A and B are shown apart, each in its own frame.
Chain A
């Protein structure tokens, strides 16, 4: 029994397994998202269905989309008690993403940009990273509680909605756990990521939590393209109610799939 577990965890933490899992997950994620986005773009929009009053010119459309993408403006209009956790959660997610990018994927990027020495940087990463992680966890818990307690939202929730929240909670919790337990060797993690990235996998840090964290991330990557999580592809950008110009009378809008368009079919 114990031997078995030990064996499984050894395999799980081995260079090959973790790296391969991440390759597979990343391929599914990129391929899946590419396919979904390609399908959205390819599908025609037969009519002008922009929500009015809407912008008539492109800069206005850009402002509308940026407002939705970065400010969640519609959500703010709808419900402040949803906007707050949703927005803070997404911001913390963005910061965590940038943190991983600047601290792990491109080593020294954040450190040199901020002009810190190795020690200072590690201290900062420790504090800021943990704080943002905690913020994200708090917001996720808030969203989860909201989902469970608000009867209307509970009514519409499916397994997938809880699954996404719990999965994220676990990912961020394991991320923070590595820091709090002080077990993680950042340099080893950087080497692992650099090796993976350049297709020369090296051994991951010898920390079971790291393996769990990474495998959960793989699960998330695979899950995203096939669930409501596809919205991370910037769904608002493709949404005709938001991305069209409100100018049907200034410029003729053509339905691309209707061949015999026009007034030749006059009855009477």
Chain B
């Protein structure tokens, strides 16, 4: 897509709502900005520099070559120079140079350092919540400088002084209280699953179950909770698949959420939110843990879970497994009967969620499934898919109304790539993308629909 001119401060006014006391305190964060917040923040900064090589190395080695400047969807959409990955990182790097390097101390202004002030903090809160931690910039950097790591560190520092978004903290609080991000109680979960079973009966005439809390099942499936209430075709897709594959499975009301918003706040919460799934797996005595269609949940589980909450040796490998991996494995070994023509009339293209492609290594399986169940499947342009995929524009805690201008601008590169395909359906295995794209389609005046990969598989399964 066309690279925009620089529009300084174009996105400066787009800010997340700040969390107040009642959301901060339950997560163990200071209920308000402490009077000595600068010292506290710098102390946390120092601690993170010592704990994370990604941070300390990436503070040091960027050569400001600019290779990443036109790679961020939020820059491409807004033209705000502070949304260029290197400029975003410099917001933190200038503080690093001032407070933590010899050059910053010696030569002040010449070393481009800056003291941590109110203004800088405000800038951090604005621009580190306009980064979706999508890692696209890192793919093009000669040193693999990953701005997502810098964003995560900045958010962790801000959280440590009670500066956090309302949306993210609210979701985490709900996850702790109810087991899912929407705050749905157990009874409603059971109701919904029953309702979907009836729906499946009406569609197929078969008794396809969506089991809840079934001890001794082989597989615990943890979907994003949105699949049960919003993206119900995806949920029914899972059910159809397990039915056809003859695998005994269950959902859990204790861990009724795959998504891990802890990753968008701090290490502590990342770890805590993940843990629920393993507790549920243990309680129910399942043998395998399978993750539903959710992007960053996959990163938190696949890349981090064994480290944070492991060892996972009480579950069978591969642990965790992605539903697309499992389904692709069954397709590959010829254990499913498929009728591709069930999806005729749809022209489908595939959106790689950032966290599946660049942080979870899941690029082939969804495509394998789509090729097996859709006759008209086509790819978007090569520089917008796979490891070069564009974020939907709403990842990492941006999926909230007050950030709408940035979300819609951030979706622009993806929308333009989609337009070139002439597809009618955008298949995407991620609940955040599924919530973002319909709004983005409308905003960018595109007539198309969003579907899950498992929806399309479900339709093509001969049961």
Q: Which chain A residues have a beta carbon within 8 Å of chain B's beta carbons? A: 36, 39-40, 43-49, 51-54, 68, 72, 74-75, 77-79, 82, 86, 150-153, 155-161, 226-228, 230-231, 235-236, 238-242, 246, 248-249, 252-255, 257, 261-263, 265-268
Contact = CB atoms under 8 A, between A and B. Distances in A.
Contacts of B103: 226-227
Interface string B98-135: 00011100000011100000000000000000000001
B307 A47 contact: yes
Given A43-B49, A235-B57, A266 B142 contact: no
A239 B145 contact: yes
A47 B146 CA distance: 14
A45 B52 contact: yes
Contacts of A79: 66-67, 140
B83 to A, nearest CB: 11
A246 B149 CA distance: 17
27 contacts: A43-B51, A48-B307, A49-B359, A51-B358, A53-B363, A77-B140, A86-B142, A152-B81, A153-B69, A155-B6, A156-B66, A160-B110, A227-B103, A228-B62, A231-B63, A236-B143, A238-B57, A240-B57, A241-B54, A241-B144, A241-B145, A248-B306, A249-B306, A253-B307, A255-B307, A262-B310, A267-B279
B279 A266 contact: yes
Given A40-B57, A68-B143, A228-B64, 19 more contacts: A43-B52, A44-B53, A47-B303, A51-B144, A53-B386, A72-B142, A75-B67, A75-B142, A77-B140, A78-B71, A150-B66, A160-B112, A226-B103, A228-B61, A236-B142, A248-B302, A248-B306, A261-B308, A263-B309
The 6 closest A-B pairs by CB, nearest first: A52-B361, A78-B140, A241-B144, A153-B66, A78-B67, A158-B112
Nearest to B111: A160
Contacts of B342: none
Contacts of A74: 67, 139-142, 144
B64 to A, nearest CB: 5
Interface of B: 3, 5-6, 49-54, 56-58, 60-71, 81, 84, 86-87, 90, 101-103, 110-112, 135, 138-146, 149, 254, 267, 272, 275-276, 278-279, 282-283, 302-304, 306-312, 317-320, 357-361, 363, 386-388
A54 B361 contact: yes
A68 B64 CA distance: 17
Contact of A48 (B49, B68, B303): B303
Contacts of A252: 306-307, 310-312
Contact of A242 (B53, B144, B279, B307): B144
A266 B280 CA distance: 10
A52 B356 CA distance: 9
Contacts of A266: 275, 278-279, 282
A238 B59 CA distance: 13
Nearest to A72: B142
Contacts of A86: 65, 142
A254 B307 CA distance: 5
A262 B6 contact: no
A231 B62 CA distance: 8
Nearest to B309: A263
Contact of A51 (B63, B65, B146, B267): B146
B64 A161 contact: yes
A53 B361 CA distance: 5
A266 B311 CA distance: 13
A249 to B, nearest CB: 5
B93 to A, nearest CB: 10
A235 B358 contact: no
B21 to A, nearest CB: 23
B279 A226 contact: no
A28 B58 CA distance: 22
B54 A51 contact: no
A249 B357 contact: no
Nearest to B283: A268
Contacts of B62: 228
A51 B112 contact: no
Contacts of A153: 64-66, 69
Contacts of B140: 74-75, 77-79
B358 A52 contact: yes
B57 A51 contact: no
A82 B275 contact: no
Query: Most chain-A CB neighbours within 10 Å: which of B141, B282, B363?
Result: B141
Given A48-B304, A263-B275, A267-B275, A230 B61 contact: yes
A51 B64 contact: no
Contacts of A68: 142-144
A40 B143 contact: no
Contacts of A268: 254, 279, 283
A225 to B, nearest CB: 9
Contacts of B60: 36, 40, 228, 230, 235
Nearest to A77: B140
